[in-house]
Chains A and B, each alone.
Chain A
């Protein structure tokens, strides 16, 4: 957290003084870059989808919307826990922060298992990467998101490692880790809408 020190002299200064970049600005540059890369993937997908609506809609019926909703709820819960982790660490409640970081990992793991099960079910039904254009996009988008999720576990491990020792604790690093994890969440929110809900 990059808070501005000093005593503000006016309301405007006070507002300015309260403002801070959560985590390292470098992580925000990465997040915005990643978000733009995903926007490009999403745009190519919706364009191709709209060009061949019958094929995409037929293939989409083989996805289970309830699984998509479940996965979204799980990741939203993980984001909530990591936001609580940041707040607890900021207030010096490091035990609570560590607990929330572990809960974030737990929900991330539930998502991971659910996603692998969903892939296995699709493959069992004969829907693979090469089945058709819809499933090529489905596997590509969910796999690249999955890769970000795996990196996210490493990032959370850094946060836990820092939280467990007073000598290592850095609020900025914990906020940076949380920012990365939230990115996994908001990218999934978009993927869920595009693969499971849109028609």
Chain B
């Protein structure tokens, strides 16, 4: 297999795995802290997930080599999902019981 491409895939996998393991620290709140809503952690979790998804799109799914339309459509989904999730979360907080 092409050594350059293989190395790139390995680095991408390593980076995605490292980000995931880092989330272990952020998400593993114990006791009372785990039961307190935290908008910063929520927004961070959503944004980090979307960054990971974009990396998967571009590197594993080879969208970086795809025609501009596919690049734009996948980026549009990332932005749209980010806006709707954060919008849904903050709208929900505004209507919280």
> Hey, which bits of chain A sit against chain B, CB under 8 A?
18-22, 28, 32, 35-36, 39, 42-44, 46-54, 57-58, 60-61, 65-66, 69, 72-73, 76-77, 79-80, 82-84, 86-88, 91, 93, 96, 175, 178-179, 182, 185-186, 189-190, 192-194, 196-199
Give chain B residues whose Cβ lies under 8 Å from the Cβ of A43: 84-85, 87-88
Q: Tell me, in angstroms, the Cα distance from A77 to B17 when the chains sit together.
A: 8
Name the CB-closest residue of B to A185.
Answer: B56
Question: What's the minimum C-beta distance from A17 to chain B, rounded to whole angstroms?
Answer: 11
Interface residues of B (CB under 8 A from A): 1-2, 5-6, 9-10, 12-13, 16-17, 20-21, 23-24, 26-29, 34-38, 41-42, 45-46, 48-50, 52-53, 56-57, 59-63, 65-68, 70, 73-74, 77, 80-81, 84-85, 87-93, 95-97
A50 & B89 in contact (Cβ 8 Å cutoff): yes
Kindly provide the distance from the CB of A94 to the nearest chain B CB, expressed in whole angstroms. 12
Known: A22-B61, A76-B16. A48 touches B35 (CB 8 A): no
Residues from chain B with Cβ under 8 Å of A179 in the complex: 61
CB distance from A95 to the nearest CB of B (A): 11
Tell which of A50, A66, A69, A182 touches B91, judged by Cβ atoms closer than 8 Å: A50
**The 6 residue pairs across chains A and B that have the minimum distance between CB atoms:** A50-B92, A193-B49, A80-B13, A199-B38, A197-B27, A197-B45
Which residue from B1, B17, B34, B89 sits with its C-beta under 8 Å from A47? Answer: B89
Binding site secondary structure of chain A: helix
Report whether B1 and A65 are in contact in the complex, using a CB–CB cutoff of 8 Å: no
Task: Give Cα A58–Cα B63 distance, bound, in whole angstroms.
Answer: 39
A sample of 25 cross-chain residue pairs with beta-carbon separation below 8 angstroms, ordered by A number, consists of A22-B61, A43-B85, A44-B88, A46-B92, A47-B89, A47-B91, A50-B96, A51-B96, A80-B12, A83-B9, A83-B62, A84-B6, A87-B2, A93-B1, A182-B56, A186-B53, A190-B49, A190-B53, A192-B49, A193-B23, A193-B45, A194-B46, A196-B27, A199-B29, A199-B45
Given contacts A39-B81, A47-B89, contact A19 B65 (CB under 8 A): yes
B61 surroundings in chain A (CB, below 8 A): 22, 178-179, 182
Q: With A43-B88, A72-B20, A199-B38 in contact, do A87 and B27 touch (Cβ < 8 Å)?
A: no
Among B59, B61, B80, residue most surrounded by chain A Cβ atoms (within 10 Å): B61
